[in-house]
């Protein structure tokens, strides 16, 4: 009988040295094949990732993430104290009531994990007695445990929290094609519209705005959706950002879209008109210093009062309820550098500033229903600009905070509405321009990045739409 391998025989009595030698070529071949398959898989995965990142994500990335999430869920819940219990956490020990952590905690259910183009979404079902706050606080722990860019926790649903898992930072990646340079073609001007609910109304021989015209797509959000500034949802917007953070670029993207629609654009640019001058052919008025701004804003206040009378006569609560033949064009007032309206150096300045800022505030208070909207941009918005600025801010429900240098401006822009967004805004990477934290109706707030239009693209968009600039009562178009 052939002797077994010393020390090996008791466990594998049939394995002899000769047999092992005869298997050796098969074992080596199997190992080589295995290594070759693994290498081929890695190379194929890398190629797929480069050539078709979306397919790679659905075929390889997401299944791996799913495994990681399932595998780490228990540890994550225990370490981040996300567990519940179905036993009492206090008990009687003799004459004492003793409180403690349950020995057998119950994990909340992580369910509905679905792949998305930007990463994944999932839902956590809470146990009775659990509140969403620890889950919001554990967002960073989840991102680390699952090796993803970020996890956003939406705690507005009852009894559950929804997770948005972002695979990578889509705002710093090169994937910009979605909206780059996408401006709508100008709408055909001859639309003869009759109002469906008012058949006695004369047909209108001019394009008539509809509420959908108020939405401008200005970039993309970190959840992969389009970033839309919609004046129908939030009638007025505040945009803050340090110099060179991307305010004008964002405004350009919005104007390029609104310019294609039957709307009036009014510029208030007290930096001598440097920022808004390229838009002049499409503007219905452009103020380049504070005195002009005060006049333009006063004329717009008179226009809102005229619209108010019109609505009252017709029993309409806003311009959208007026018949198309009577409906005035929506007006969007763009203020670039708010501080220039507020800061005063002399007594004469003070009266002028008061006139301009009071009219701006009146527009903010009256304008929404009357089709007058504000988009107000500034490098710094702080209480030192005067008490009026806080009153104005209260009317600007849409907020966009680009990279800013001082804490007060972040607080002023986001702190009153979205305290949890303040930190996100402070962490905006100065190296990547155009990133902002913005109001998002269904998500509360979200990070987003504007699309960049080159000066040539912007000029082309403005020239193509210059003929659509309406003349507003009491205002002279620039260059007229």
- Residues linked to residue 119 through DSSP beta bridges, in sequence order: 116, 166
Q: In the set 164, 167, 240, 248, which binds ligand ATP (CB under 6 A)? A: 248
Closest contact distance (angstroms) between CB of 433 and ligand ATP is: 3
- Residues linked to residue 96 through DSSP beta bridges, in sequence order: 93
Closest contact distance (angstroms) between CB of 399 and Mg ion is: 18
The entry of ligand ATP, Mg ion, none near residue 111 (CB within 5 to 8 angstroms by kind) is none
Nearer to ligand ATP, 359 or 439 (CB): 439
Query: Within 13 A of 314's CA, how many CA atoms are on the CB side?
Result: 20
CA distance 14 to 19: 9
Structural tokens at position 366: 């009256």
CA distance 242 to 428: 12
Tell whether residue 247 is a contact of ligand ATP (CB under 6 A): yes
Q: In the set 244, 321, 427, 454, which binds ligand ATP (CB under 6 A)? A: 244
Q: Which stretch binds ligand ATP (CB under 6 A): 78-86, 225-233, 314-322, 444-452?
A: 444-452
Closest contact distance (angstroms) between CB of 377 and ligand ATP is: 7
Tell whether residue 245 is a contact of ligand ATP (CB under 6 A): yes
Q: Which stretch binds ligand ATP (CB under 6 A): 77-85, 131-139, 411-419, 449-457?
A: 449-457
Closest residue by Cα to residue 220 from 118, 150, 115: 118
Nearer to Mg ion, 248 or 257 (CB): 248
Closest contact distance (angstroms) between CB of 245 and Mg ion is: 9
- Cβ pair 212, 199 in contact under 8 A: no
Closest contact distance (angstroms) between CB of 249 and ligand ATP is: 3
Structural tokens at position 448: 């987003």
The H-or-E segment that residue 218 falls in is: strand 215-221
Structural tokens at position 469: 């600039």
Q: Which residues bind Mg ion (CB under 5 A)?
A: 247-248, 275
Token look-up 């305290």 returns 419
DSSP structural state of residue 107: P
- Cβ pair 264, 330 in contact under 8 A: yes
Site string for ligand ATP, 332-371 (x = CB under 6 A): ----------------------------------------
Segment 54-60 long-range contacts (CB within 8 Å, at least 24 positions apart): 54/117, 57/115, 57/117, 57/167, 58/115
Site string for ligand ATP, 265-284 (x = CB under 6 A): ----------x---------
Tell whether residue 434 is a contact of ligand ATP (CB under 6 A): yes
Using CB under 6 A, list all residues that contact ligand ATP: 241, 243-249, 275, 379, 433-434, 449-450, 452
């Amino acid at each position: 009988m052939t002797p077994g391998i010393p020390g090996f025989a008791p466990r594998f009595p049939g394995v002899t040295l000769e047999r092992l030698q005869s298997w050796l070529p098969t074992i080596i071949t199997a190992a080589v094949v295995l290594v070759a398959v693994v290498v081929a898989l890695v190379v194929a995965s890398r190629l797929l990732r480069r050539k078709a990142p979306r397919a790679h994500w659905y075929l390889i990335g997401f299944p791996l993430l799913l495994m990681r999430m399932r595998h780490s869920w228990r540890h994550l819940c225990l370490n981040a104290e996300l567990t519940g219990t179905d036993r009492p956490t206090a008990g009687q020990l003799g004459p004492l009531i003793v409180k403690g952590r349950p020995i057998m905690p119950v994990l909340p259910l992580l369910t509905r994990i679905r792949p998305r183009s930007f990463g994944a979404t999932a839902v956590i079902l809470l146990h009775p007695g659990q509140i969403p706050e620890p889950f919001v606080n554990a967002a960073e722990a989840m991102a680390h445990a699952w090796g993803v860019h970020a996890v956003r926790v939406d705690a507005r649903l009852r009894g559950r929290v929804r997770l948005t898992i972002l695979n990578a930072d889509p705002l710093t990646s090169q994937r910009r094609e979605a909206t780059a340079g996408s401006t709508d073609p100008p709408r055909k001007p001859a639309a003869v519209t009759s109002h469906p609910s008012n058949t006695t109304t004369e047909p209108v021989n001019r394009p008539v705005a509809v509420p959908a015209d108020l939405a401008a797509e200005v970039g993309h959000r970190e959840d992969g959706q389009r970033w839309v500034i919609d004046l129908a949802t939030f009638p007025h917007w505040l945009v803050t950002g340090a110099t060179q953070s991307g305010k004008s670029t964002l405004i350009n993207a919005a104007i390029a879209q609104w310019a294609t629609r039957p709307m009036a654009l009014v510029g208030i640019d007290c930096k001598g008109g440097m920022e808004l001058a390229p838009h002049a052919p499409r503007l219905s008025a452009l103020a380049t210093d504070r005195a002009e701004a005060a006049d333009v804003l006063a004329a717009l206040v008179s226009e809102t009062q005229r619209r108010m009378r019109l609505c009252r006569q017709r029993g309409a609560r806003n311009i959208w309820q007026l018949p198309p033949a009577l409906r005035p064009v929506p007006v969007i007032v763009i203020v670039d550098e708010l501080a220039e309206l507020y800061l005063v150096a002399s007594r004469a300045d003070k009266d002028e500033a008061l006139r301009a800022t009071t009219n701006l505030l009146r527009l903010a208070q009256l304008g929404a229903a009357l089709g007058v909207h504000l988009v107000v941009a500034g490098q710094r918005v702080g209480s030192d600009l005067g008490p009026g600025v806080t009153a104005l801010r209260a009317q600007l429900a849409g907020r966009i905070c680009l990279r800013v240098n001082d804490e007060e401006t972040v607080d002023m822009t986001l702190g009153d509405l979205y305290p949890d967004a303040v930190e996100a805004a402070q962490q905006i990477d100065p190296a990547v321009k155009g990133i902002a934290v913005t109001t998002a109706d269904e998500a509360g707030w979200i990070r987003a990045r504007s699309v960049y239009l080159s000066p040539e693209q912007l000029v082309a968009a403005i020239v193509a739409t210059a003929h659509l600039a309406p003349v507003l009562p009491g205002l002279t178009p620039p260059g007229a």
